[in-house]
């Protein structure tokens, strides 16, 4: 006897979750193992339950459906649903990723499940790669960082970040008087921030430090070849000779 596929329903609208439950009654090979109404709840549930299939709303409070996948690393076994933004859905069409446009019928729901079953039963690498590409494109449009630190998920606006400090195998992101730990190299984060669109501007002033220009209050010389950046928060960040060359054109 084949194992029943376990399903997680993620939608901030109770009526939408009820409708999915109703439609799922026609599929005895599927078992609902949980429901979530926010993106943060979904991140926790996906980590704990590892469902075979996720019915995932795109627009939700706290985290979007795409951000949930970014935080969990989930790249397969997902059917998206949304009631919003026809233009944004073109991205899903281009990447051949299935989604349900609300309100959807039982027939359309069944079609999506049929496609999901086939992908789960075979090598879904092309779809996984397509979803990875879509997530990369979407993250470049959002002026914020998603950080999972000590079991909690934090959404940090780029404009709130004062500086980032490299420490061994992780980085410390200092924003709005708080510090967040993330397992990532400073070079990787620098590349990620460069791709972000918006008013935030970050500069590598030292091999271990990245600062936001708008957080800078003054530069003070400490020796012939080195300076220190004084931030509005009061933090003092060492500036190397190469770092000074990078930041100097931005101060004029």
Domain boundaries, given as residue ranges, for the chain:
5-139, 144-251
The pLDDT, as a whole number, for residue 1 is: 42
Cα(83)–Cα(119) distance, integer angstroms: 24
Please classify residue 58 by burial: count the beta carbons closer than 10 Å to its beta carbon, then call 0-12 exposed, 13-18 middle and 19+ buried.
buried
pLDDT at 121 over 60: yes
Question: Is 96:127 a contact under the CB 8 Å cutoff?
Answer: yes
Q: What is the mean pLDDT of the chain?
A: 86
Residue 202: pLDDT band by 50, 70, 90 thresholds? Answer: very high
Backbone angles phi, psi at 206, to 5 degrees: -160, 155
To the question of pTM greater than 0.75 for the whole model, the response is: no
CATH tag, 144-251: 2.40.50.1020
5-139 and 144-251 share one CATH topology? no
Residue 11: pLDDT band by 50, 70, 90 thresholds? Answer: very high
The domain 5-139 having CATH identifier 3.40.50.2300: the answer here is: yes
The pLDDT, as a whole number, for residue 243 is: 92
Who has greater pLDDT, 40 or 142? 40
Rounded-to-10 torsion of CA 193, 197, 198, 202: 20
Who has greater pLDDT, 106 or 225? 106
pLDDT at 118 over 80: yes
Choice among 33-47, 112-126, 165-179, 217-231 with the minimum mean pLDDT: 112-126
């Amino acid at each position: 006897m084949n194992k029943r596929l376990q399903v997680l329903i993620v939608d901030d609208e109770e009526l939408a979750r009820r409708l999915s439950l109703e439609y799922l009654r026609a599929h005895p090979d599927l078992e609902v193992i949980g429901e979530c109404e926010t993106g943060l709840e979904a991140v926790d549930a996906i980590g704990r339950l590892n469902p075979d299939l996720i019915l995932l709303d795109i627009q939700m409070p706290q985290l979007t459906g795409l951000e949930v996948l970014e935080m969990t690393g989930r790249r397969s076994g997902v059917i998206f649903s949304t009631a919003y933004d026809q233009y944004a859905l073109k991205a899903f069409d281009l990447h051949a990723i299935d989604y349900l446009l609300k309100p959807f019928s039982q027939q359309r729901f069944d079609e999506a499940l049929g496609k999901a079953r086939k992908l789960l039963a075979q090598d879904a690498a092309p779809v996984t790669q397509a979803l990875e590409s879509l997530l990369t494109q979407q993250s470049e449009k959002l002026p914020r960082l998603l950080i999972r630190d000590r079991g909690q998920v934090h959404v940090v606006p780029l404009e709130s970040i004062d500086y980032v400090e490299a420490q061994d195998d992780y980085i410390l992101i200092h924003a709005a008087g708080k510090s967040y730990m993330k397992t990532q190299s400073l070079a990787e984060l620098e590349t990620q921030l460069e791709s972000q669109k918006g008013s935030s501007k970050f500069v590598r002033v030292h091999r271990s430090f990245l600062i936001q220009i708008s957080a800078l209050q003054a530069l003070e010389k400490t020796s012939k070849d080195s300076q220190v950046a004084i931030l509005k928060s009061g933090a003092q960040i060492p500036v190397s000779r190469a770092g000074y060359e990078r930041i100097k054109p931005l101060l004029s």
